[in-house]
């Protein structure tokens, strides 16, 4: 399939986890891809595997870095057809009263403010029919205790997406995906462990009717669908990639 031939796609958080799978999916379907990540070496490594890709170091929390990211996409590809706001951070489970205020502010800056910045500077370079897609979380709809700041930040991504869909219509669509737990570095960071224990893995999977965690490719497929012409009448959608966990 070449659904994205001659399309320009920007992916934040492109050096790991969902970002790698999202990047590879769009590239496999013909897109030119700008990989944006604070880990430039990792982004360059992924970009080297792709037919038309550029890597750039971006701190998504920084306004000037977002401006530079958009300019790099325009300089290299002439436009932005799909802005993938995938970058995000978790925190290790702890009740909100025990969380450091600076850590709370950092999480909201990276998980929420970054989407505002990327959108603010991208839209003037996005032709009619373009898409903005963000990574929220099923935690934004079905929160778990001990993750209150994270749950709230992902709930904000969902509401931000719906509001952007209204403001940017009819020329640009805005949607987000809401993954369940996934075996990526993101989950490992949130637990502080190299891998989940058997008991913890079982507890997570027992809550997912389809019997497994989300794979990065599941999320990448959802991104590609929402960016495609097949989803041309979808905007403001928060698509659950959760194997039924939310029900």
Structure tokens at 137: 């979380």
CA distance 201 to 13: 25
Neighbours of 118 (CB within 10 A): 25
On the question of pLDDT at 144 being above 80, the answer is yes
% residues pLDDT > 70 (the chain): 94
Mean pLDDT of 45-64: 97
What is the overall mean pLDDT for the chain? 92
Question: pLDDT at position 203, please?
Answer: 79
Question: pLDDT at position 181, please?
Answer: 86
Strands (E) across the chain are located at: 8-12, 32-37, 53-57, 82-85, 130-135, 172-179, 238-241
Q: Are 35 and 86 in contact (CB under 8 A)?
A: no
Catalytic residue among 95, 121, 150, 223: 150
On the question of pLDDT at 186 being above 60, the answer is no
Who has greater pLDDT, 176 or 181?
176
SS3 call for 96: helix
- Of the listed ranges 2-6, 46-50, 71-75, 100-104, the least confidently predicted one is 100-104
Q: Distance from CA of residue 120 to its chain's centroid?
A: 17
% residues pLDDT > 90 (the chain): 79
Question: pLDDT at position 196, please?
Answer: 64
On the question of pLDDT at 91 being above 80, the answer is no
**Strand 238-241 with 8-12, pairing:** unpaired
Q: What is the pTM of this model?
A: 0.93
Q: Is 95 a catalytic residue?
A: no
């Amino acid at each position: 399939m070449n659904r994205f031939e001659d399309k320009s796609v920007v992916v934040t958080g492109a050096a790991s986890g969902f970002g790698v799978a999202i990047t590879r999916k769009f590239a496999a379907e013909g897109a030119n891809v700008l990989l944006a990540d604070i880990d430039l070496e990792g982004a360059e490594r992924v970009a080297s595997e792709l037919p038309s890709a550029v890597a750039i170091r971006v701190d998504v929390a920084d306004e000037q870095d977002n401006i530079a990211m958009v300019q790099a996409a325009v300089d290299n590809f002439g436009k932005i057809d799909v802005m993938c706001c995938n970058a995000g951070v978790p925190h290790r489970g702890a009740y909100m009263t025990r969380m450091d205020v600076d850590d709370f502010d950092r999480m909201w800056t990276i998980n929420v403010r970054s989407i505002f910045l990327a959108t603010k500077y991208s839209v003037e370079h996005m032709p009619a029919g373009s898409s903005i897609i963000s990574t929220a979380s099923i935690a934004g709809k079905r929160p778990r205790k001990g993750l209150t700041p994270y749950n709230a930040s992902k709930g904000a991504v969902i509401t931000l997406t719906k509001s952007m869909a209204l403001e940017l219509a009819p020329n640009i669509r805005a949607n987000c995906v809401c993954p369940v737990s996934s075996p990526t570095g993101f989950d490992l960071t949130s637990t502080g462990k190299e891998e989940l224990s058997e008991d913890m893995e079982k507890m997570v999977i027992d809550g997912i009717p389809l019997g497994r965690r989300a794979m990065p490719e599941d999320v990448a497929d959802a991104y590609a669908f929402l960016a495609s012409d097949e989803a041309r009448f979808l905007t403001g959608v928060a698509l659950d990639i959760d194997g039924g966990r939310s029900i």
